[in-house]
Every structure is written in structure tokens, then in C-alpha cells.
Amino acid sequence: MMSNFIQYFFLIFYNFIYISTVLSIQNIETKWIPLIGNWIISNQTISKQIYTKFGIDSYSTQWIIDNNNNNPFIDDNDVKLRWIAYDNWTFTKIFIIEQFNLNNTIELYIDGIDTFCEIILNNHLLGVTENSFLSYTWKINHLLNLKRINILEIKCISTVLIAKKKAELMKVRKKMIPPPFCWPSRFHGECHVNLVRTTQSIFGWDWGLTLPIQGLWTLPQLVVSPSGLRFGERFKFYAYSQHDQFKLWSAEIDVEIVGNMPSYDRLSKACIYSYIEELNVFGRKCFGMENEMITMEVLRNQSKVKLWWPIGTETGPYLYTLVLYLTVGSNKIVDKKEYSIGFREVELIEDYVDSSHIELGRTFYFKINGLPIFITGANWIPARYMPGRQYILMHNVTNDRIWLEKRLLRSASLSGINLIRIWGGGRYEDDEFYKEADRLGLMIWHDMINDTVEKEITRQISRLHYHPSIIVWSTDNEVKQAIANGWYGPPMDSTLLSIFKSRFVESIFNVINDEENGRSSARRWETSKYKPRRCLISSPGNGYLTEKFKGLDPDPDVESNYVLGRFISEFGIQSIPSPLAWARSISNISNPKQWDVFGSLMDHRQHHQLGHQMLRLALEYITEPANRQDPIRNYSR
């Protein structure tokens, strides 16, 4: 009991120093204050204190608590530690606010939470979360204790158990449970992942291990708005050329406004001022609070605009800084935002290869600013499984939460890659990820995360729209192919095809196009020449033909459809790990059995349905290493 008291005392003392220092600063602009520092993670039997600056989760916490002995990447620990996924975990933050202005609006903002959690502040239930890809905001002025302890509790329930309960409930109600029900045994995975809105791959897949975490990809933040009015996260940038040679450019934005006008300024209007620094161009738009999305022009018929190009093409990427100021009353600034924007036009060309021989099919290539681009790309899967995994072999000595992702993006750009495809089984990445791609000139083919819901799409496209690196949206990854090839039932099952059409074609496809085109702004489409990004139905797909047949065209994966592949959005070969990577994955590097390519541990890590058969087939045509006496030395030859 005394040890718990001491633990809480030091935790309170630490948070008092940090939070009170920040919130005591009186500033007219909106402030975002992450709740960094010590957190308590607990279940029915464990309660430990963990320091974090970036994120926290159930798996990495156990790893840190046990002095790195509970590493899920070692041996078959991914299965041995599965109990973590079946337990319920609570994440607690204790903090003190020294002072704040009663006229301020204070909100709690949470983004990237996995997944089914109750959010409780000072014993008051703020709400529940059930989608890892949505953000959540609550006004908390009336619940905060001034100069006293505030306790934020995030009580999460096992995502695995929630998925099973949802499936059982659908069965009782005699509703169709969408396939796949469970993954093949080789995945060592969990069932019914498509019933929960989290990273689909954490329930198991053919490329990696199963880690159904609970936790926070980013720490909660306190949002302090002195006026009660601020910019939201939704922001779209529409740049379009008024000249065939891209000599003149105009641009408009859609920007979200959150909150209400201060009571003392109710009779006045709010205004947004824009400024593009490098062009020395100003804009202004005043408005009432009838609409939360404000449309304004920030550039008109501007010459000498430097274009954004992919890496290795023309002058490469060039970005401008767009600064937005939100004012109320007598031009009192209450919020400020900065965006890195790029001017570029993207087209997907699907002309007939030979109009006199249409059986040869169509082209499929991209033009950037009127110039055809040869794509050299790679698939992007999540760079990390656990948001709390901060202490790894490549230590993060920076204050950059996504330093690892940036390192990989830079590596891609240096290796000759000019496009990455964000895979549909992963996550929507942090905004800093897309900023880095913009800066490097890496184009992005962006899948919508598998079976994405409409509200989620609206949020994500509104958040990501302004990034010039994103050149195309795709509704899904391999969903239509799975139905056509009979992965989860009879090939071309009529029921599944009907569901696919209803879900992905008639709903998701239309929502993506509406959000991309900005059809909510009628005035824009009377005058604008903006060319929206294309949205592709399914991957793999037949491009134009897939749209023509409303997503139900003949199987696009049949090789006879095309004499030559027009655009290969995903391919690969399997390899065993490098010696260094494998050494990091085994508990005893001196044990020869753990280095056996066809041993039990390697077989445990082999998730391909055919096991090692494809590797054995390749080895039949490749000569064995000259010296077989040292298996470790010859491991990677």
C-alpha cells in the first residue's frame, strides 16, 4: 500500500512540473499539449508505471517491464504471449493543471486508439471508442480540477474477444458473417478481424506475426483554445492550371472550423487570412458560423509557380508554405496553421494501345504535369507493430515520433523508388509521414484500408487531400480477387459479388470521388479546372473496364486478359531472412537447430500456405554453397 502511495506521489509530482509549466502560459493562439510522461498500465494482476513520449500499448509494455524478456519477435513468443491480446488493459494518466483562463475552451483529443475503450476523466465517462482510424474530441472544462489531481483512464477491452462476440451475435441473429472467418493455421492468427475497425494485419497475415494490441498510437492531447474557435484537422487544397503549359496557376482550399464564436464577439464575424510565403501572396475570407467547412481562394492566375515533380523527374519536388490565420473581433488571431503545398497535375492515362486493335487492351500509366512517368515502386506495410516500442536496436535519440518511417522513406528515395503503395491491410499513416513523402518527391498509391466505412473515408481524405505525393486512391486490396478466385467460398459467389458491389462500388467508390472532387463546394465546380485524383475499384483491377462493369468485370487476375501487364501494383518473391535479422529473432544464436532453414522455428515463421515448397523448388535449380561445413557462414549465400 505504501509503495503504491509513493509511486502515485512521484507520478503526480512529475506531471505537475510538466503540465503546469505549459498550461500556465497565457497565449492567444490555440495550443496542443500532448500528455507525455509517466503512464500506469494495468490489468487484473499487473500495475506498472511506464514513461513515454510517443505511444503506449499492451505488448511493448510487457516487454519493457520484463527487461526485454517478453519480446514477441523472439522464437515463437508471438503465440506464447497471446494471453496479452485476450486480457483487458487500462492506461492511466495523472496530471495537475496549475491555472487556466475560465474563458478558454479545453478539449481532450485522442487519435489512433486501439480500439474498444472507455474514456473516463475524473470518474466521468466521456465516451467510448470503437474505430482505430477515427479521432475523438470532448470538451472537458467542467470536469477539470484546478490545482488538484486529474485522472484520465482509458479502459480497453480485448479486440480479439470483441470480434468473436460480434460474430456470435450475428450468428444468433442469423446474419451473414462476412468471410474470411478465420485465417489459415499457418498464420497463427485470430478470427473475424473484418468485424473490427483496427489494423487488419494485427490479427495475422501471410507476411508477419499476430499482435492484437490495445493502446495508443499517439498520446492524448489537451487542446486549449482561448477563444473557443480553432482550425480543425480537415483541410483540402485544390490547385489547377489555367494554361496548357502550366504557366498560370490558381488554388482554393477547404478548411474546417471547430467551435463557437466567443460570447463577447458574437456579433462580429471570423476571418481567415492566407499567406503563401515564397510567392508573397495574401488571401482573406470572412464568414459566419453557418458552415464548418470554409471554402476560399488563396491564389489566382499566378505565374512563375515552381512545379512539384516526383524524385528523379525534371526539377524534383518543390513545396510552398501556406500559412493560415484565424481571427475574431478586431483581427485578434486565435489560431494558426501551416501547410506545405505543391503544385502539380496528375492524370491516369487509359487509352487504347492501338485503336484499330482494341483487343490489345488499354494503357495504364500516370502523367505528372503532362509528362509520362515511369513508375518504380514498392509496397509499404506498417513499419512498426507496437506504438510503445521506443527502445529498439536502432535507438530513437530524436524527439521525432516517426523517425523510423522517415528513415525508410529516405532509403526508398535513395534506392531509385519513386512511388510507394500504402497497402490496404495496414494503417493510415501520421501526417508527418505524408509530409516527408511530399518533401522527398515520393508518389503514393493509397489503398483505402480494407472494408473502410464511409465516415472513416471522409475523415482520412479530408486530412490527407493536400499532399501532392498522393496521386491515386484505391478502394481496397484483393477483395474482388478473393471473391473471383474462391478464397473464402465458391469462385464468383453471387452473394459475395453482390455485397462487394454494394459496399465497394456503390458506396466507398462514390464517397472517395465526392471527397476528392470537393463537390460540396458548388461555386468551385462552375469555374475550376482542377483535375481530381482517380479512384480505382479493386486491386488488382482492369482500370477503366472495372469501372465500366461496376466492379464486376471478368477476373482481372487472368493472365490472358492482357498480352502484357500494363501496371504491376504488387509482386514479390519470398526469401529467408538475412543472418542479422534472424539472429535478432532467436533466443540462442549458438544453437545450430535454430539456424536450420527447414527447422521447426523457421517453419513456425513460414506463413506461406505451401510452406517451404516454393523455396525447395527454387533450390532445385540453384547450386548449393561450395562449403557446407559452416551453416551459419553459408546461411545467406
Alpha-carbon gap, residue 404 to 394, rounded angstroms: 9
Q: What is the pLDDT of residues 608-619, one digit of tens each?
A: 888 888 888 877
Residues of the chain with CATH 2.60.120.260: 2-222
Q: Which of 292-301, 336-345, 468-477 has the lowest mean pLDDT?
A: 468-477
The answer, yes or no, to whether the previous bond of 310 is cis (omega within 30 of 0) is no
Give the pLDDT mean for 194-205.
89
Q: Which of 290-294, 425-429, 458-462 has the lowest mean pLDDT?
A: 290-294
Amino acid at 399: N
Is it the case that residue 26 has pLDDT exceeding 70? no
479: its cell numbers: 477483395
DSSP string, 146-210: BTSEEEEEEEEE-HHHHHHHHHHHHHHTTPPPPSP-S--GGGT--S-GGGSBS-GGGG--SSS--
Cα angle at 561 between 559 and 562, to 5 degrees?
85
Give the pLDDT mean for 581-587.
90
pLDDT the model gives residue 278? 93
pLDDT the model gives residue 93? 97
Tally Cβ neighbours within 10 Å of residue 453.
18
Residues of the chain with CATH 3.20.20.80: 346-561
pLDDT the model gives residue 114? 93
| pLDDT tier at 511, thresholds 50, 70, 90 | confident
pLDDT the model gives residue 538? 66
48: its cell numbers: 506498472
Is it the case that residue 457 has pLDDT exceeding 50? yes
- Contact present, 345 and 246 (Cβ < 8 Å): yes
Q: What is the pLDDT of residues 415-448, one digit of tens each?
A: 999 999 988 777 889 999 999 999 999 999 988 7
Residue 379 DSSP SS3: strand
Q: What is the pLDDT of residues 316-355, one digit of tens each?
A: 999 999 999 999 877 889 999 999 999 999 999 989 988 9
Beta strand residue intervals within 343-462, DSSP E: 346-349, 365-368, 371-373, 377-380, 419-422, 443-447
> Tell me: domain 346-561, CATH 3.20.20.80, correct?
yes
Q: Which CATH number is correct for 2-222, 3.40.50.300, 3.40.109.10, 2.60.120.260, 2.40.50.180?
A: 2.60.120.260
Q: Which CATH number is correct for 228-341, 3.10.290.10, 2.60.40.10, 3.40.50.261, 3.30.230.70?
A: 2.60.40.10
pTM recorded for the entire structure: 0.84
Amino acid at 139: K
Q: What is the pLDDT of residues 59-108, one digit of tens each?
A: 887 776 676 678 888 999 999 999 999 999 999 999 998 877 767 899 99
| 610 Cβ contact partners less than 8 Å away, ≥ 6 residues apart | none
Residues of the chain with CATH 2.60.40.10: 228-341
Average pLDDT, the chain: 82
- How many angstroms separate the Cα of 589 from the Cα of each of 80, 298, 584, 586, 594? 20, 60, 9, 6, 7
- Contact present, 109 and 32 (Cβ < 8 Å): yes
